[in-house]
Structure 1
Amino acid sequence: MRAGLSAVFFCAMAAMASAGQDRGPVTNLPLPRYVSMKAGEGNVRRGPSLSHRIDWVYKRRNLPLEITAEYGHWRRVRDRDGAGGWMHYSLLSGARTVVIEKDMVAMRRTPSPDAPVRAQAEIGVVARLGECLPDWCRISAGGQSGWVPKAALWGVAPDEIRE
């Protein structure tokens, strides 16, 4: 019996690999992908059900998270520190946000290192994500908006382009 189960598991894994399983089996959306916290508070569980233990609670609305897996109404997420677990999909939003990873990042008028600085963003600030070019993204936070180097952000893929 054990050998039979191993063979089935191996075949399933091989099929997923050959099919380029980089889409969620529930939503058919890309995996991994970024989302944000819709709720002001959300439990992070060990597994994809209410019967699994709560490991911690996120308490920051709009916090960007990366979805790495899907199972029914549950999404496995991870934060910028690599910590993660399973959250119910109703706690998450497709609205995109990012966290500033470098202190006092210049928010520039245009996507150029020579452009005038409109404002500065402190490390840890959560900002709304707008358009992204290969090396720059437009963000807004605290009533200010501007272009920042993509390398200074967590919550956007290095090769991601957004219009």
Structure 2
Amino acid sequence: MQAQRDNVVSIHYVLRDTEGEVIDQSAEGQPLSYLHGHDNIVPGLEKALEGHAEGEEVQTTIEPDEGYGPYRDELVQKVNREAFQGVDELAPGMSFRAESDAGPMIVTIKEVDGEEVTVDGNHVLAGQTLDFTVNIADVRQATETEIEHGHVHDDGEHSHE
């Protein structure tokens, strides 16, 4: 079976930056499972895996437009410390879920200057070229429920509906 729309694909992956440094990888013995064709992984990786089967290794380089998008300066803004009610200590690198005009987003604190906090709403990998090495561990037909919901249900119940 091949990676194609409405199939659940389980992958082991290593993600490196253009310098060859490992940015992220799947946990040992725990492949990432996703529903192919439903925008659950970055577009460039989904395209690269299309048509590949269990046991295959795929290496691909993904430009920002097909990855986490370009880095957008307008997503960096200064907010008042009051926006973080209930948080005693703020430090660069901390991430928070925030509501924006475009819906919920994750923001990361870049700088804290007295009452002024600089936050960045870009994905941590925005603007980066991504080098993926992927081993396809398994491909199976998704259940009707998974297709309806648009994501994998990993509760071990895939064989009966």
Q: Structure 1 length as normaliser, TM-score? A: 0.28
Q: Which has the higher contact order (CA 8 A, sep 6+)?
A: 2
What is the TM-score with the length of structure 2 in the denominator? 0.29
